[in-house]
Structure 1
Amino acid sequence: MNRSHATKATPKTKADIRAIAQGIRDVITGLMVSHDGEAVHCLPMMRIFEMLYIQEELAMEIVPDDELKDAVAETEPDEQLIKIRESDYNSAAAGDRDALFTLAHELGHLFMHADQPKTFARSSIKYSLESDCEWQANTFASEFLVDRRLVDTKWSIHKVQETFGVTWEIARDALEEKKREEKLAHQLQRLNLPSLS
């Protein structure tokens, strides 16, 4: 992503985005809980898209690759429309983890950026990372795909990767973040300070 031409959005912190992603995940997975009541870890992204399409929560266009020359996919939140290149849609359908991340990223735009002003942040304009719609969508995708509440800090990166069906990088970042959060929580507890959550 070229931040000099990134769309500016209403600022959201990582905690704000986590709350949004977890809330949406909870609603969606509530519809998918297995018969034994176990939590859904690995989200069936193609099924989620199909469900949202049937419920008319989104429209999806699979377009020829050359129609989206500079992007894998794009979202028009106000129109509830996601366009995705045919090759990337096929990759997602085949289980490619990068392509599945792209779908989750586009859902982030859909859920967080409707009713946003269509302004652009140029390189001469200073704005925070928390106002960057691409950073927000990436953060949403990571939080949506890997529910930090279900991550065990004793797990390996590979275990996180396989449990949630994500790339190695997303699994590593999620595990490291969970470990930092637990360490901070223990330090606050040891000092008898209130938790940050």
Structure 2
Amino acid sequence: MMHAFRALPMKRAETRVVAHNLRRSLGLAGRLWFPVLQLVEHAFRGDSHGLTERDGDSVCIKIREDIYDRAYADEGRDRGKVGHEAGHYLLHARSPALHRHFGGELKSYEDPEWQAKAFQGELLVPKHLVVGMSAVDVARECGVSYDAAEYQLKLYAAGK
């Protein structure tokens, strides 16, 4: 797979800190359900698939209408897509740290897509709140897909 950009290295634990700090700054550190759509609509003031674009100092999150509608209806998979774009916004869009990658090995923690996916998981399925929960309960209580819940719980169980 060819990657167009390389980001500054960021391990999963660092994305967890960014996600936790965001939750804490919004007074949501103790809540399982994170209002991700409201975050991108109000806190980030982006436009409403997903794409995070930068034009000079202006950053815009664009969410395809069908994805937006399903996220609005609390569909876990699409809430995850919005969380992924929120990750790009927070980790990459305002950062001059992305640069072109012209082949060769790209470590996962340097891949902006991997970083946004890790952030999405940490934001929507906070480790400190879900340890000991079942994937079914995490999916329901956090508003994520069963697959996303299972994936995060496996990471946490493996000490990641």
Classify the TM-score, shorter chain: 0.7 to 0.9
- Distance verdict in 2 for CA 1:95–1:128, change over 3 Å: same
Per the alignment, residue 43 of structure 1 pairs with 34
- Which residue, 7, 10, 16 being the options, matches 1:9? 7
The offset of 1:118, in angstroms, is: 4.6
Give the structure with higher Rg (CA): 1
- Which residue, 132, 138, 156 being the options, matches 1:160? 138
Q: Provide TM-score, normalisation by structure 1.
A: 0.72
Alignment of 1:46-195 (within 5 A): 46-52=37-43, 58-62=44-48, 72-77=49-54, 78-113=57-92, 114-122=94-102, 124-153=103-132, 155-181=133-159
Q: Counterparts of 2:156 and 2:90 in 1: how far apart (Å)? A: 24
Paired AA for residue 37 in structure 2:
M
The offset of 1:151, in angstroms, is: 1.3
Alignment of 1:25-36 (within 5 A): 25-28=23-26, 30=27
Relative contact order: is structure 1 or structure 2 higher (C-alpha 8 Å, sep ≥ 6)?
Answer: 2
SS in structure 1 at match of 2:2: helix
SS in structure 1 at match of 2:7: coil
Q: Counterparts of 2:131 and 2:97 in 1: how far apart (Å)? A: 39
Q: Describe the superposition over 1:11-41 as per-residue Cα deviations: whole angstroms up to 9, x where unpaired.
A: 101111111111111112x1x58xxxxx211
Do 2:8 and 2:98's aligned partners in 1 also have CA atoms closer than 8 Å? no
Do 1:6 and 1:132's aligned partners in 2 also have CA atoms closer than 8 Å? no
Percent identity for Structure 1 against Structure 2: 28
Q: Counterparts of 1:181 and 1:127 in 2: how far apart (Å)? A: 24
Unaligned runs of 5+ in 1: 34-38, 53-57, 63-71, 183-197
Paired AA for residue 47 in structure 2:
E
Paired AA for residue 93 in structure 1:
Y
SS in structure 1 at match of 2:137: helix
The offset of 1:6, in angstroms, is: 3.7
SS in structure 1 at match of 2:90: helix
Q: Counterparts of 1:80 and 1:94 in 2: how far apart (Å)? A: 25
Paired AA for residue 22 in structure 1:
H
Paired AA for residue 86 in structure 2:
L
Paired AA for residue 121 in structure 1:
H
Q: Counterparts of 2:63 and 2:135 in 1: how far apart (Å)? A: 29
The offset of 1:170, in angstroms, is: 1.3
SS in structure 2 at match of 1:110: helix
Do 1:9 and 1:116's aligned partners in 2 also have CA atoms closer than 8 Å? no
Per the alignment, residue 186 of structure 1 pairs with none
Count residues in correspondence.
157
